[in-house]
């Protein structure tokens, strides 16, 4: 495959059967989004956010991009913005890992820190303030931008349909809601009987303790109507499945992948004999090596030790 | 009896407890028993007959929206979890 630049080389990721983790009579397949150019599913989102903004006239030469993100979206946007010629600023909590900052800076992004105590909500607040004060700044804001689910509607889902026309169920993680909303709607348009399940990370008291119920947040791009179930997965079960994936299937994936596969296994027995289930792996395991998630030892002890930073 | 897990932000209204045991065979019965035991939880948790916005309730890890809402069945060994709605960690 040849492409003109990195922005063109997004998608067409492998769909791999998990013969050892699939329950009897059901088949689980894993879509490996870590095979995208910057190593995550967010390459699809970043490419579509920028393309749609250019199409709508929000982005043109001379403008700059700003996004509250310390994770995969920032890295993906940094690569796309670099080749499209837009300076990028990422707003992130001050306790974000050194590795992430280094990768973003390497790709040419500048970084603004928000208070650690405010978590990702604080990054959103600071980014909104900066964007409001500077008319040359464009904030794609993946949590509220329809281009986010659109990316999955027009690329992720059609790839699944092409590779597995008799798909019966899809499982995606719940972050912005873009994946389950975009993929889910397109798969249900293909076949209304397709079931769509969300794997929701259970962050643990450290994260929830900072949240006030009155300022809770449901992303605008998440359409709860498309779901047939939403199942929470705690650090231990996500970690167990992530480690089984690498140990039994030879797939080195991030912890969100373990959560999605755990939900795929759980819903498998409520689906008919012969069901073909697709779970989405948002990224590979490399970025999480330093968390200790893959260290030898008792998984319960490891889960306990790192549950505060696992999903961050 | 079912166990209800109380999020950190609501523990002051639940006598500081992280886990409360209550009777009930549906989510509605469980929540009514919970607020009967801890009346201060009522207005934080319920909006009339509905669970308030920004609150997610799970029975045995499954969002009750997809299990029939307040009619969701609750077993004798079920765990009911109340969680604030939180958008993705570092995405």
- Per the CB < 8 A criterion, the answer to whether A77 and A88 are in contact is yes
What is the enclosing helix (H) or strand (E) of A281? strand A276-281
B69 touches chain A (CB under 8 A): no
The rounded Cα B66 to chain-centroid distance in angstroms is 15
pLDDT in tens, A9-38: 999 999 999 999 999 999 999 999 999 999
pTM of structure? 0.93
Tell me the torsion sign for CA atoms A304, A75, A218, A66.
positive
pLDDT in tens, A260-276: 999 999 999 999 999 99
CB contact under 8 A, B89 and A120: yes
- Per the CB < 8 A criterion, the answer to whether A254 and A235 are in contact is no
Tell me the torsion sign for CA atoms A73, A75, A79, A82.
positive
Which strands form A15-17's sheet, in the order they lie side by side? A15-17, A27-32, A276-281, A169-173, A195-201, A229-233, B62-63, B55-59, B79-84, B2-5, B19-22
Active site residue A31: no
In the predicted structure, residue A121 carries a pLDDT above the cut 90:
no
Q: Which residues of B77-90 are buried (b: 16+ CB within 10 A; e: fewer)?
A: ebebbbbbbbbbbb
CB contact under 8 A, A70 and B65: no
CB contact under 8 A, A42 and B54: no
| List A235, A256, A281, A307, catalytic entry | A256
pLDDT in tens, A129-151: 999 999 999 999 999 999 999 99
In the predicted structure, residue A208 carries a pLDDT above the cut 50:
yes
In the predicted structure, residue A211 carries a pLDDT above the cut 60:
no
pLDDT reported for residue B86 = 63
pLDDT band per the 50, 70, 90 thresholds, residue B88: very low
In the predicted structure, residue A62 carries a pLDDT above the cut 70:
yes
CB contact under 8 A, B54 and A205: no
Query: From the CA atom positions of chain A, what is the Rg in Å?
Result: 19
Chain B CB contacts of A92 under 8 Å are 90
pLDDT band per the 50, 70, 90 thresholds, residue A214: low
Strand ranges (E), A194-263: 195-201, 229-233
Environment class of B23 (CB within 10 Å of its CB; exposed 0-12, middle 13-18, buried 19+): exposed
Distance separating alpha carbons of residues A140 and B71, to the nearest angstrom:
40
pLDDT average, residue stretch A233-257: 96
Residues 6+ away with beta carbon under 8 Å from A35: A13, A14
Least confident stretch, A39-43, A83-87, A98-102, A242-246: A98-102
Environment class of A283 (CB within 10 Å of its CB; exposed 0-12, middle 13-18, buried 19+): buried
pLDDT band per the 50, 70, 90 thresholds, residue A84: very high
Active site residue A256: yes
Chain A CB contacts of B61 under 8 Å are 231-233
pLDDT average, residue stretch B25-34: 95
Distance separating alpha carbons of residues A207 and A178, to the nearest angstrom:
22
| List A22, A31, A40, A42, catalytic entry | A42
């Amino acid at each position: 495959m040849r492409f003109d630049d990195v922005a063109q080389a997004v998608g067409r990721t492998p769909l791999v059967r998990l013969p050892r983790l699939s329950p009897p009579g059901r088949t689980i397949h894993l879509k490996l989004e870590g095979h995208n150019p910057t190593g995550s599913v967010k390459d699809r989102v970043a490419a579509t956010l920028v393309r749609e903004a250019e199409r709508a006239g929000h982005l043109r030469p001379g403008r700059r991009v700003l996004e509250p993100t310390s994770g995969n979206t920032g890295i993906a946007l940094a690569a796309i913005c670099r080749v499209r010629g837009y300076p990028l600023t990422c707003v992130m909590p001050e306790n974000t890992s050194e590795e992430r900052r280094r990768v973003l800076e390497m790709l040419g992004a500048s970084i603004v820190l928000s208070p650690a105590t405010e978590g990702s909500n604080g990054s959103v607040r600071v980014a909104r303030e900066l964007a409001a004060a500077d008319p040359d700044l464009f904030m794609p804001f993946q949590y509220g931008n329809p281009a986010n689910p659109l990316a999955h509607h027009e690329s992720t889902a059609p790839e699944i349909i092409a590779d597995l026309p008799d798909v019966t169920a899809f499982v995606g993680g719940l972050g912005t809601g873009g994946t389950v909303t975009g993929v889910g709607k397109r798969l249900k348009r293909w076949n209304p009987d397709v079931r769509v399940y969300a794997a929701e990370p259970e962050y643990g008291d450290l994260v929830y303790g900072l949240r006030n119920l009155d300022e809770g947040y449901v992303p605008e791009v998440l359409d709860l109507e498309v779901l047939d179930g939403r199942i929470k997965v705690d650090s231990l079960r996500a970690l167990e499945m992530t480690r089984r994936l690498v140990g039994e299937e030879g797939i080195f994936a991030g912890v969100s992948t373990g959560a999605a596969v755990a939900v795929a296994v759980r819903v498998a027995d409520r689906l008919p004999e012969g069901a073909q289930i697709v779970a989405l792996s948002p990224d590979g395991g490399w970025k999480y090596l330093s968390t200790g998630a893959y260290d030898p030892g008792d998984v319960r002890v490891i889960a306990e030790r790192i549950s505060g930073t696992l999903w961050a | 009896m079912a166990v209800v897990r109380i999020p950190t932000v609501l523990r002051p209204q639940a006598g500081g407890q992280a886990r409360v045991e209550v009777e009930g065979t549906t989510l509605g019965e469980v929540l009514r028993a919970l607020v009967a035991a801890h009346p201060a939880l009522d207005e934080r948790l319920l909006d009339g007959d509905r669970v308030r916005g920004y609150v997610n309730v799970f029975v045995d890890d499954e969002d009750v929206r997809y299990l029939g809402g307040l009619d969701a069945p609750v077993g004798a060994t079920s765990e009911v979890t109340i969680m604030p709605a939180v958008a993705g960690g570092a995405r």
